[in-house]
Amino acid sequence: AKSAGGNRYELADPEADARVITRHGLTTALPAALERGEFFIEYQPLVHLGDGGVRGAEALVRWLHPQHGVLGPDRFIPLAEHTGLIVPLGRWVLEQSVRQARTWRERYGTGGAPAPLRINVNLSPCQLTHPGLVRDTVEILERAGVEPDALCLEVTESALIGADDDLLKPLRRLAEMGVDIALDDFGTGYSNLANLRRLPVSILKLDRSFTQSMQRFPADPVDLKIVEGIVALAHSLDLTVTVEGVETGAQAEQLRVLGCDTAQGWYYARPGPPERLHDLALVDATA
């Protein structure tokens, strides 16, 4: 990782690293890395577009590799999925994140009530098909003393395309308990919009590519129409719309006008240590 001052860093350049780290080397190092505690989580705030208040954060895992520095999830999640390590790794991420959520909720709570801050955790397709998903999630929430409605599990649209009832069952169970399910990277797959009704999701996360198209000014009118249409459909199905990859104030404003509910991106904050949330005076707006 390149150091960029303070405790900030840039994630290692994948292409440069591909030359020094072999896939095989990383794959074999993964299980020991989990045991040695080389993974850590960064949190990126989720901000309400209407009032600018922080509503929670998404947990994003990183690997502090002893030789190669900080590696981003795109470097090792596919390997962890391939080897099955994603199940214990994902469980670890969930446990850490839920505990962090409790800390935030207590810290910002008022009058004995916890602050309504939520934690979003990514779920890989392998975790979805793992039989322990519901049990593990319930256990983790109970151990941490966190209400299910403080947790949102993010599942990619592609993982649910063509999903049969067996695959959806655990997600339904979790949704019935109050856990939110978000459809991540929405709009990148071959989404059958009608299919949405069948899925136990309550949040659509519009893919970054939509946000990027808002960067051009004036934005492509067709893109505007598409986002407007998705938002209208989502709201008519009682879904909340989150946008990711917001890098400028102009994008945030455009997306707010289009009716999106919450946003996430470098404009607000890069993913960072949990203490970063404390620096955002915005947190007060949720009280």
Give me the residues that bind ligand C2E (CB under 6 A), please: 44, 60-61, 72-74, 77, 90, 93, 122, 124, 154, 184-185, 244-247, 264-266, 271
Report CA-CA distances (Å) from 3 to 71, 121, 156, 272: 13, 27, 31, 14
Nearest to 120, CA basis, from 173, 77, 182: 182
Residue by residue, DSSP assigns 190-238 as ---GGGGGGS---EEEE-HHHHHHTTSSSPPHHHHHHHHHHHHHHHHTT
First and final C-alpha spacing in the chain: 37
Report the residue number, 17 or 185, with the smaller CB distance to ligand C2E.
185
Q: Binds 166, which of Ca ion, ligand C2E, none (CB < 5 to 8 A, cut-off by type)?
A: none
Q: Binds 274, which of Ca ion, ligand C2E, none (CB < 5 to 8 A, cut-off by type)?
A: none
Residue 281 DSSP label: G
CB of 43 to ligand C2E, least distance (A): 10
Report the residue number, 100 or 124, with the smaller CB distance to ligand C2E.
124
- CB atoms < 10 A from the CB of 165, how many? 8
Spatial separation of the C-alpha atoms in residues 187 and 241, rounded to whole Å: 12
Q: Binds 17, which of Ca ion, ligand C2E, none (CB < 5 to 8 A, cut-off by type)?
A: none
Structure-token pair, residue 111: 């009058």
Q: Binds 70, which of Ca ion, ligand C2E, none (CB < 5 to 8 A, cut-off by type)?
A: none
Inter-axis angle of helices 133-144 and 86-108, nearest 10: 30
Q: Binds 133, which of ligand C2E, Ca ion, none (CB < 5 to 8 A, cut-off by type)?
A: none
CB of 161 to ligand C2E, least distance (A): 16
Examine residue 218 and say whether the peptide bond preceding it is cis (omega within 30 degrees of 0): yes
Report the residue number, 114 or 171, with the smaller CB distance to ligand C2E.
171
Q: 3-class DSSP state for residue 3?
A: strand
CB of 244 to Ca ion, least distance (A): 5
CB of 247 to ligand C2E, least distance (A): 4
Report the residue number, 114 or 274, with the smaller CB distance to ligand C2E.
274
Q: Binds 265, which of ligand C2E, Ca ion, none (CB < 5 to 8 A, cut-off by type)?
A: ligand C2E
Report the residue number, 180 or 244, with the smaller CB distance to ligand C2E.
244
CA 206, 180, 200 angle in degrees (round to 5)? 80
CB of 53 to ligand C2E, least distance (A): 18
Nearest to 206, CA basis, from 221, 228, 222: 228
Contact footprint for Ca ion (CB under 5 A): 122, 154, 184-185
CB of 86 to ligand C2E, least distance (A): 6
Report the residue number, 109 or 191, with the smaller CB distance to ligand C2E.
191
Report the residue number, 180 or 185, with the smaller CB distance to Ca ion.
185
